[in-house]
Structure formats: structure tokens, C-alpha cells
Structure 1
Amino acid sequence: MTYPTEDDFRRLLDALTLCVLLHDASTKAIVWANRAACIALGFSVEELLPLKARDMTRPVPKYAREIAVAAMDRSITEGPQGYEWCYRSRTGQDMLSEAIATYVPLKERAVVMVQFRDISAEEAMRQALRRHETRLREFMQDLSEGVAVLTRDGTVDFISDSGRRVLGLAAEQAPGSVFDYCSERNRERLAEQLDDAPLQGPSEPQRYRMTRRDGSACWLRITCRRLVIEDDLDGLLIHFRDISDEVSIEEARRTEARMLEYAGRYNAMGEMATAIAHELSQPLAAVRNFIEGAIRRLEQAGPVEDAIWGLRSADRQAEHAALIIKSVREYIVKREPTETRSDLREILGEVAYFIELRASDAGVRVHIVQPKAALPVMCERVLIGQVVLNLAFNAIDALADVDADRRDLTLACEEKDGRALVSVMDNGPGVPADAHGRLFDGFSSSKAGGNGIGLSLCKNIVTRHHGAIWAQPAPGGGLECCFALPLIPAS
């Protein structure tokens, strides 16, 4: 075998930008260095030749001469050997390097060629990344929000320590699939959210009732987005937070609101008690008269047909009284909240009976204006009826000081700007101009002695139905209270 000469080999290495030192294969002493190595270390070739490892490396055990010599020896028998080495320049600057020792037999002698490149910047970056990773892990330890990376089929590929706590996972317990934690109904909804995950920014948050690995239930708010990082990752990034306390508070508030609404209906019926009693007194008195007449005819052996006519008339009056009582009971009975598709005109028609009872007793004329076309809304009928009642009763009370022949109340509904609009208008004294904006905020009332709780309740109900409520001066004087609900498309 013909080996290259040392001069030829040196000329070849001198043209490289990679740093190269040639060591004698037997003694491991430096016998030559290329131009790149001389520049990097700050020594000429002649200055490098007498130097030993202690003269050009950091004095720590991991850079002891024996370690480098062992790598060079292995390169002779096992092939090229890579190792980390710290070279020290003439100015005393350390240069962390990736070194590769390769055995090269030349014509004049055998050498070990050590190629090295400066990896100080790379190592500093690696250390910085390790520090950032450590800090990030420390920060995420205390997060109440979980972070997870999912594959496209929902398998959890990565989950933060905080996420493990949220899902009740032990330290080494495999998280499995995200769908393992939710019911079948929620699973379908979660799958839709993940399928629609955007590439830019998080999705709209959605909440789900989940079951932790320990069997306990919780509510999670979840957002997600697509992750596409070249060919390395194609999945989903999700953030999830335990909102069980928030849901409990919301449910407590809903319960409180339902109780307030229930009390409001009773309060409204209490205000109407006199009018209802008057309304019932007429059919009950008629029932008594018809029965007494029938009894007298039977006692006097009069015509049976007369007695039968009297009893049937009594029956009709009793049925009328029963209908009044049924209407009252159906209105005030406690019900679970149920939103249904309803025609707002029908709701206004249902409560008009009670409004007219109260208005009749107060000497107020009621005018009802209804459109021909339906006004379909999604609502709890009883609660929206309560809003109309509260506004109407408030208006009737405001007319108490108006001359009897001028007491007018107008109830109207119509479609306006894509919404179903209800207005309750009176021609009473009205309220000061600066009070319109705060009339429904609570503890503000348009009538003397009022506390505004009924109006605040109206705002609470309308807002829950995604509507708006406001007050404004009536065109002819007085006050006009309006509320609008979103219309739903006709089926």
C-alpha cells in the first residue's frame, strides 16, 4: 500500500477551514497544525510544537491529558473517536470544542489527526435552553392551568405537571386519550372543537364536565389550536383550567335568581289580590243566587226545568271562577326554568288578563297593540311574562295621581331591527331625565315609596335572555319602558 507523504497531507489540510492538529501516533506530541488551528489558538506552528496538554487546555479533571491520549489510542484500533475538549488560546481564552481523532498512516510516519471546531456558542445556547426549560417547568408547577399536546386522534403526547394535577394523574401514570375523561355526549362536542382548531390563536373556550382518573367530577374550560412544526409535529395544543368553583358559584346564582323570580311572582300576585278577589266575588255571588233560586223552586214544587236552568247557570259561574283560580295558580306555581320557542304576542296576551284586572281596579284604560305577524323568541315564558307584568304594574301605580279620565296604559309589541320589541307606555308624571339610564339598576323606582327591586329583576331576566331593556320619555309625556329580545328564524 502506498501512503501519502506528510508534505502532501499538510498541504491538503492547510486548505481547510476546519482546525486540525497532527499528533505523533506513538508519543502523541504535536508535530504540525494547519493555518485554521494556528489562527484559532493564537500560536504559530513552531510555538505549538513544544506545548503539552497542560499548556493549552483548562486544568480540570475532564480535560486531563490521559483522556485525550486514550481517545487517540482507540482511534488506532477502533477507528475515528469523537470527544469534547477545551482548548485554551494564547490569550487565555477557553474554546470548548468538538474533537475527532483519526489515525492516519503516512509515508514518513503514522499520525493521529485531531479535527476540532469551536462549539462554545452552541454549548452556551444549550445551557441557556436547559435553564429556560428548568425555569419553565418550575413556573408550570404552580399553574392552575394544564397544558397538553395531542396527536390528531386525541392521544395525549405531552402533559404538564399542572395538567396532571387537574386530571388527577399520578406521577408515572399514562394520560391516555383526552376523550377518556368525558361522557359520550361531551366526547362528540369535544371532538368537534378539536377538529375545528384554528392554526392561529386559540379556539373559543368551551366547558365540559369531566371525570378525573380518581373518579371525582370536575368542570374544565378548554381552548385549543393546531400545531404544525415542519415534519416534527402535527397535532393539537390544548389549555385546560378547572372551573368547578366558577360553575358552582354560577349555579348558586341561578338558584338565587330563580328564588327571586319566584318571590317576584308572588309579590305581583299579592299586589293583585284585591282585584282578583273582586273578580271572583262576582261569579261566586252568582253561583249562590242561582243555587238559592233552584232550591226555592224545588221547595215550592215549581217547574223542574226552572231549577235545572238555575243549577246549570250556577255551574257555568263556578267554572268561570275555577278558570280564574287556575290562571292564578298556573302563573305563580314554581317551575324549573325551561326555554321554549314562543310567540311574544301570546305571552303578552297571557299576562294581559292580570294587567287588566289590576288596571280596572285602579281606573286605568289598557290599550294593547299587537302585530299580525308572529314574533318568535327563545325564552322562559313565565319570566318574560313577569317582566311585562312588573313594567305594567309600575306604570299603573305611576298613574295614581293622574286625573281619572286621563289614565291610559299602552302595551305594544313589534319587530324592529331584527328584534322583538315590547313597550309599556303610560301618560303619568314620568321620571327626571337623568334617572332613565339608572332606572333598572336597583334601588331606583319611578313611583313614590318604591325600591326598584322589581325593575332590577326585569333587567336580570332580560339580560339572561340576551336582550336589552331601557326607559325613555313617552311621546305624549309620561314614561315608556321597553325591552327587546333576539328574534329566531321562523321554522
Structure 2
Amino acid sequence: MSVTERNVDLSLQGGSFFESVCLYYRVDSAGCFTFISPALEGLLGVPRSEVVGKSFQDIFDLEHSLGLFALDQQKDGHQSSKSNTRCAIVRQNNGEIAILELQERVLPSSEETSGGSEGLAVDVTHYVNAAVKLSQGERKYRRLVEGLGGDYAIYTHLPNGELTYVSPSVEEILGYLPHELMGLNWRELIGEDFSGRETADQVLADLQAGVRFYKFTTEVAHASGEKRLLEIQQRPVFSPEGQYLLMEGIAKDITEITQNAEELRRLKEELEVRVRERTQELSQINVQLAESESRYRSVVEDQTEFICRWNEGGVYTFVNEAYCRYMNMPASELLGASFLPDIVEEDRGRVLAEIAGLTPQEPAVTSEHRVLDADKNLRWHHWTNRALFDEQGILRGYQSVGRDITDLKQAEDLVQDREDHLMRVSRLATMGELISGIAHEIHQPLHAAQLFAEATRRNLEMEGVANISTAIDCTREITNSISRTATIIRQLHSFTTTKPSKFELLDINEVLHEVAAILSYEIRKAEVKLHYALQKRSISVNADRVQMLQLFVDWFRNAFEAMSGNDRENRHLAIATRRDRRELVVELCDNGAGTDIENTERLFDAFYSTKPGRLGMGLSICKTIAETHHAKVIASKNPTQGMTFAMRLPIAERKKL
């Protein structure tokens, strides 16, 4: 008897499953497969010969948790009401699992069969997976709603206004537990005189007019009796027949936001006042920058970015129009050519080294270098070069964005020249203030030389061995006086020199002693006692001697002036140097009058001075000198009296032999 002729009453509702696969099988009384339909190969990916003769339980797992879950889902969804329905899990040839719904019946013993059972298996994997996702979504949504906190609460109410659900977060907003609000009419929480009550009452009329979304603000009574301001968003729910069933909504507590609005407005007004004050402070700076801005405005407005792509060797694969216009060449002539020959030879090695150092972790580098244009004129370029790596970290090429900065470089040189000129003018001004002391310092050794010269003449006129010996001693004193005068003149010449900046290895301790020598007369006149605590081991820094002299002369003189109000016996200036890791720290600590300002950084601002009638440029120039040396200057108030000025200079690296 064929399978189609056998009267198998297997009632399945497989029509509701997505793309179901049906598998017919027979099992003998020993529980082994005696027949299985060809659909097996499409379902499991194995031939029927490997299954026939094997135990039913070896192929179908009836105890797997997914099979039990699928059975429960079918019962809940009324997929089958027959008691002979089971669910099994089978392992496919690719390692994945399939979920089958089994409907079976017992076969009676006959001459042809020895009993057993036959059944039909339907693939319900897609249905069960969908049911699992739906269950997970329901649990996630419930956790989201029940866990909603802060300023939000979810609710539903019937058409008559009776609340049917309120999320637990309502306790944080209104002070009620959810069960205390269930069954109440929402109108009991919104008083007749509450702001927003009319809008809330208008919802029903709007609903009848066809409005399906509502957003309004209303006051709601808190459990404590105070009013809370809530922003309401709600939407009606209708039955399939169009009957209004209930209203779903979410309420946000905006009480604090509203209360803070006035405070924010006040703060905004205060901020505007401060901005106006700051604008007035900046107006002077803007006036000073106006001339500079007009010079560079055309450069900025006409500036265009160059965009290029290239391969190793600097060979262009893409250039944009702006670069073509700049090079005065069509793209067809640039593509395939290399830009490396255009880079000045002294800069080419550095540029290649920067590019070679690009990695997937640090793929970009910014570079400035010189190039020769078509007319062999020297130009400065600024480029941001980026290496393009694929997901495997393999270099695929480069992209660069650049611009011509020749005008900017020339402007920087001009600014540097002006700063150098300002420093020299400041040194000359300082020299003018010190001129009387300098004259005294030079007069002393010259006067001594004159006296010793006169004594020499007299002893030589008197002749005699003793007189000649005395004359020789006098000539030695003359030599010492002239040497002292020459040293003073050499120091003054060094202090006022107009030579370009020259960075060299300097011992700051020697510079500090040289400053004391230049100001020796000022020190005696101010009756200041110097106390040295210098680093014993010589530490060199890379600095310009003249600029260092100018900076410390200004600091010394500021200290003398700050201590002018002290008793003569109480004028002390401590000078210290010490090493702090890779920096040399120089500190000048006085016990003078100090300053009343809290923000001591302002002392280094240009045109700012705490002394009447002063221009306020001295410490600003000192800060510029320090920045030129990659150093940092700091002014701080002493705990008891006076000020401390400090500078942190990078220590020069020793050259390896």
C-alpha cells in the first residue's frame, strides 16, 4: 500500500506557518525509523539512508527547552488542540537547529507492519523564532515602562476620565503610589482654577472633531498639596469598529524647568552685561589689531585650500582646481608627476621622514616646508598629510590638504623684527634710567687710575730704587682700574647690542652674577642684600644672553622698587636656581610691598601696570622673551610678604659623543 493510499488522519494547521516544510516518517515498535520522506534532505541536509534504521530519539530531541517553549506558544495561540501533537528539535547538517511540530498516530499490527507509528513533521522554526522575539520585546517594553523614572510617567484612562494604569514613576512626580490613583478621575487632580484645565477639558471635543494627538501643559495637584506643572502628550485608542476605548499618554514634569526660566533669564542678562564690559576691555586691543587685520584680510579672504592625492614617490593621482590655478597648470600635466623635486633640498629629507612615520594609529602629520615655484621663487607651504590605510592596515595612498603660507611667514618675520626692536628700545630705556649709576661706576676706576698715574709720576721724578718699585706698583693699579672700566663698558655694550638673536649654551648662574655686576650701583643705592642659593652643579640652557640679561635686569629693578618702602635693614632679595626634572627653575623672591590683585597672571599683560604713570610693557616683554625660549614665567604672592617671580627653562640636551 502506498503512502498516498494510506488513510493518515493528520490534521495540521500548517497553513499559518511561514514557508513550512512537511516531513512524513514511520517508526517501528522498537522506535527506529523504517521510512522517511525525501523532504529530509531539504530540511536537515543529510540523505535518508543515514537516518533510516536509527533511533527516533537520536534524531528528534523531545526534551529541549525550545521545543517545550514552542509547544506552549502553540497552545496559547490555539495552533493545535490535538493531544497527539509534540515539538522536537533536530540538528541540521550545517550545525543549526530546526524546530518541528510532530503529529503522530499509532499503526495497528498487520501482516504488512509489525505496529509502530507514523507521523508528519512540520518546520515551525520561523514561527518559534518570531514568538521568542515577540516575548522578548514584550518583556523589554514592560521593563522600560515599569522602570521609567525621573520626570516622566505613563498613564491610561477611560473615556469617562477614570485612570486604569499609572507607571510607578508617578510617585517621584506627584507623590502618589500607582494604586492610590487607579480608579480616580483625572479631573480630581486638576483643579477648576488650575492653569491648563480648559485645555484638558477641550480634549474630548477635539476628539470628536477628529484630532488624534494632543500636547498641552497643565498644573496638577501633588500629594503634598502644591502644584506641579506637567507637559502632556496623549493619543486615543480605538477599536476596529472605530469606538473610542481609552486614552494613552505620557506626562513630563517641567516644574523645575519653568521655575528656572526666570533664573536663566536673569543669568542671561548678567552675562550680557559681562560681555559688554569685556567688549569694552577688548576695544583697545581691537584698535591696535585693526591695522594688522587690514593687511592680512586680503590674504585670508583670497586663501584657497589645495587638495591632492598621491602615491609613494609623491606621484599625483588627483589634484583639485584650486591647486591647478595655483600651479598655473592643467590637471593633465600634474597627474603622474611627482611633487618631491619641487621641495627645497634642505627640507625634503625631513618631509620624507615625517611621511615614513605615518601609521594606522597615527595616520596624519602637519608639515611646513619650502618649495620652488615654476619661476624658481621660494615659497612656503603648509600641508596636512594623511596616509590612507585599509581595514587590514595596508597603505593605499595619501591625501594632502595644504595652502601657501608665504605671506604669513613674512608677516611672522616682521612681527619678530618689531618685537626685537621693542626689546632693544626697552633695554635702551633701562640704560637711560641707570645712566647716573653707570657714570658713577665708570668714574670710580678712572679716578683711581688718575690718582695712581699722578703717584707714579712723582715717584719717578724722585728716582731711587724704592720710588721706582712704588711706581711699578702704581702702574699695576692703573692696569686694574682700566680693566675694571673696560669690563663695565663691555657689559654695557653686551646689554645694549643690536645683534640678531643668538641662542647658545648659557650658565644661568653666570648670567645672574653678570646682572648683579651691571646693577652694582643700583644695589648699593637701594641698600638691598642679595642672598644666593644657586644650583651647585652647572646646568646649561639654550638661550640668548642679551635677552636673558634684559629679563633679569627688569626683575631685579622691580624687586628694588617694591622694597623701597621697607626699612634699610629689611631689604632682602633671594636668588635661587634649581633643577626640576628636565627644567631649570630660576626664582627671585623679595620682601617688598607685593600686589593687591588676585590674578597675578595679569601682571604680564601688555599695557597693564599697578604703578601710576607706567606704560606696563616691562613684564609683558619679559613674558615674550620667555616664550621665545619655550619657557614659562610665573608671578606669585609670598605667604607673608612680597612677591616671587619664577621662570622655568628647558634644560639643553647634552650631545652624545
TM-score using structure 2 length: 0.50
Residue aligned with 1:400, SS? coil
1: CA distance, partners of 2:375 / 2:363: 29
2: CA distance, partners of 1:458 / 1:152: 47
Q: Which residue pairs with 2:356 in the alignment?
A: 195
Letter in 1 for 2:364: S
- Residues 402-435 of structure 1, C-alpha deviations (whole Å, 9 max, x = no match): 2111111122111235421111121111110425
Checking the alignment, whether the CA contact within 8 Å between 2:582 and 2:651 is kept in structure 1 is: yes
Which of these residues, 126, 143, 159, is aligned with residue 319 of structure 2? 159
Shift of 1:178: 1.3
Letter in 1 for 2:609: S
1: CA distance, partners of 2:404 / 2:568: 61
Shift of 1:182: 1.4
Residue aligned with 1:218, SS? strand
When residues 414 and 277 of structure 1 are mapped into structure 2, their CA distance, relative to the original with a 3 A threshold, is same
**Where do 1:337-356 residues align within 5 Å?**
337-356=501-520
Shift of 1:318: 1.2
2: CA distance, partners of 1:224 / 1:179: 14
Checking the alignment, whether the CA contact within 8 Å between 2:380 and 2:406 is kept in structure 1 is: yes
2: CA distance, partners of 1:488 / 1:316: 36
When residues 148 and 377 of structure 1 are mapped into structure 2, their CA distance, relative to the original with a 3 A threshold, is same
Checking the alignment, whether the CA contact within 8 Å between 2:530 and 2:573 is kept in structure 1 is: yes
Residue aligned with 1:423, SS? strand
Q: Which residue pairs with 1:180 in the alignment?
A: 341
- Residues 362-399 of structure 1, C-alpha deviations (whole Å, 9 max, x = no match): 22112222011333322223212321111111111122
**Where do 1:100-139 residues align within 5 Å?**
none
Which of these residues, 413, 422, 428, is aligned with residue 266 of structure 1? 428
When residues 490 and 346 of structure 1 are mapped into structure 2, their CA distance, relative to the original with a 3 A threshold, is farther
1: CA distance, partners of 2:460 / 2:542: 56
1: CA distance, partners of 2:473 / 2:499: 41
- Residues 447-487 of structure 1, C-alpha deviations (whole Å, 9 max, x = no match): 45433211110111112222221211124401111121223
Checking the alignment, whether the CA contact within 8 Å between 2:319 and 2:331 is kept in structure 1 is: no
Q: Which residue pairs with 2:473 in the alignment?
A: 309
Q: Which residue pairs with 2:525 in the alignment?
A: 361
Q: Which residue pairs with 2:377 in the alignment?
A: 216
2: CA distance, partners of 1:482 / 1:446: 19
**Where do 1:274-293 residues align within 5 Å?**
274-293=436-455
Q: Which residue pairs with 2:397 in the alignment?
A: 235
Q: Which residue pairs with 1:256 in the alignment?
A: 418
Letter in 2 for 1:324: I
1: CA distance, partners of 2:533 / 2:362: 49
Shift of 1:342: 2.8
Residue aligned with 1:272, SS? helix
Matched, 1:374 2:538: yes
Residue aligned with 2:348, SS? helix
Letter in 2 for 1:226: A
Which of these residues, 584, 594, 609, is aligned with residue 445 of structure 1? 609
1: CA distance, partners of 2:332 / 2:568: 82
Q: Which residue pairs with 2:366 in the alignment?
A: 205
Checking the alignment, whether the CA contact within 8 Å between 2:540 and 2:652 is kept in structure 1 is: yes
1: CA distance, partners of 2:527 / 2:575: 16
1: CA distance, partners of 2:533 / 2:475: 39
Q: Which moved more, 1:290-299 or 1:247-256?
A: 290-299
Shift of 1:200: 6.2
1: CA distance, partners of 2:616 / 2:380: 36
**Where do 1:451-470 residues align within 5 Å?**
451-470=615-634
State the number of aligned residues: 350
- Residues 271-328 of structure 1, C-alpha deviations (whole Å, 9 max, x = no match): 2222222222211111111111222233344533333332332122112211111121
Residue aligned with 2:365, SS? coil
Checking the alignment, whether the CA contact within 8 Å between 2:355 and 2:365 is kept in structure 1 is: no
2: CA distance, partners of 1:476 / 1:233: 63
**Where do 1:403-418 residues align within 5 Å?**
403-416=567-580, 418=582
Letter in 2 for 1:190: V
Residue aligned with 1:358, SS? helix
Q: Which moved more, 1:423-432 or 1:338-347?
A: 338-347
Checking the alignment, whether the CA contact within 8 Å between 1:202 and 1:223 is kept in structure 2 is: no
Which of these residues, 473, 478, 481, is aligned with residue 637 of structure 2? 473
Letter in 2 for 1:185: E
When residues 143 and 413 of structure 1 are mapped into structure 2, their CA distance, relative to the original with a 3 A threshold, is closer
Letter in 2 for 1:316: N
- Residues 42-94 of structure 1, C-alpha deviations (whole Å, 9 max, x = no match): xxxxxxxxxxxxxxxxxxxxxxxxxxxxxxxxxxxxxxxxxxxxxxxxxxxxx
Which of these residues, 552, 556, 567, is aligned with residue 388 of structure 1? 552
What is the RMSD of the two structures over their aligned residues, measured on CA atoms? 2.5
Shift of 1:489: 4.0
Letter in 2 for 1:191: L
Q: Which residue pairs with 1:147 in the alignment?
A: 307
Shift of 1:444: 2.7
2: CA distance, partners of 1:463 / 1:300: 64
Checking the alignment, whether the CA contact within 8 Å between 1:369 and 1:412 is kept in structure 2 is: yes
Letter in 1 for 2:638: A
Give unmatched runs, 5+ long, in structure 1. Answer: 1-141
Residue aligned with 2:334, SS? coil
Checking the alignment, whether the CA contact within 8 Å between 1:166 and 1:242 is kept in structure 2 is: no
2: CA distance, partners of 1:367 / 1:462: 24
Residue aligned with 1:205, SS? strand
Checking the alignment, whether the CA contact within 8 Å between 1:398 and 1:446 is kept in structure 2 is: no
1: CA distance, partners of 2:453 / 2:504: 44
1: CA distance, partners of 2:471 / 2:649: 54
Shift of 1:346: 2.8
Shift of 1:170: 4.7
TM-score using structure 1 length: 0.66
